[in-house]
Structure 1
């Protein structure tokens, strides 16, 4: 191995973006600038504080967004199934099952749910 390759400076893409943003004045009018951080930010678990700050800022995890999409889609499919409009509902159920699989890969394990069938769409809609 060549010593030159070992001592190359690494690329810091996020750092570069932040420095450029700061140079253009993007950091001048941030909410809370110049105010001390609350003491609660320095006690306890760092991850829990991150979650609280993210929640306060309106951030929703991807799995929660998926959960809402699945719920709304199931409600619509159940309504159409109940009214007898069964055109292409099986295709929509297949697409919802793909979303459920993606949801199960990202959500906390106790929140995972099974895939659905068109015949049991009403019960699935109530579960979600």
Structure 2
């Protein structure tokens, strides 16, 4: 290595090497078995999505989508029952979550912000 080049440290690689030395990679499910043909088809991202889904992983934006839906329904019900207290503040909080959601979710699933006069339509759109 030249003196003018910075030292490179592979932290994850070092952790995996140490884990392997201590036997952490022994007795893994499926160890030594050939990969299925299905596993070798498609791209890496598709495989990740399938494995993550099968393992019960839920992306952050999907949890956020459910939070937004529930908050919109609750706000709409409160307004229909005449409870207007903090409606603007609650709507701002919901719109902040929508902004975060739009940054995380796939582009075709992005949605616009909500106004009090379009709240009922937004509730239907988020169901």
Is TM > 0.5 for Structure 1 vs Structure 2? yes
**Which TM-score tier does this pair reach, normalised by the shorter chain?**
0.7 to 0.9
- Give the match for residue 89 of structure 1: 87
Q: Give the distance between the partners of 1:102 and 1:74, measured in 2 at CA.
A: 16
Q: CA deviation at 1:23?
A: 4.5
TM-score (ref. length: structure 2)? 0.83
- Give the match for residue 5 of structure 2: 6
For residues 44-55 of structure 1, the aligned pairs below 5 Å read 44-55=42-53
- Give the match for residue 114 of structure 2: 116
Per-residue deviation, residues 30-89 of structure 1 (Å, max 9, x unmatched): 333333322111122222122111111122222212111111111111111111111112
Q: Give the distance between the partners of 2:93 and 2:24, measured in 1 at CA.
A: 41
TM-score (ref. length: structure 1)? 0.82
Mean CA deviation greater in 88-97 or 51-60: 51-60
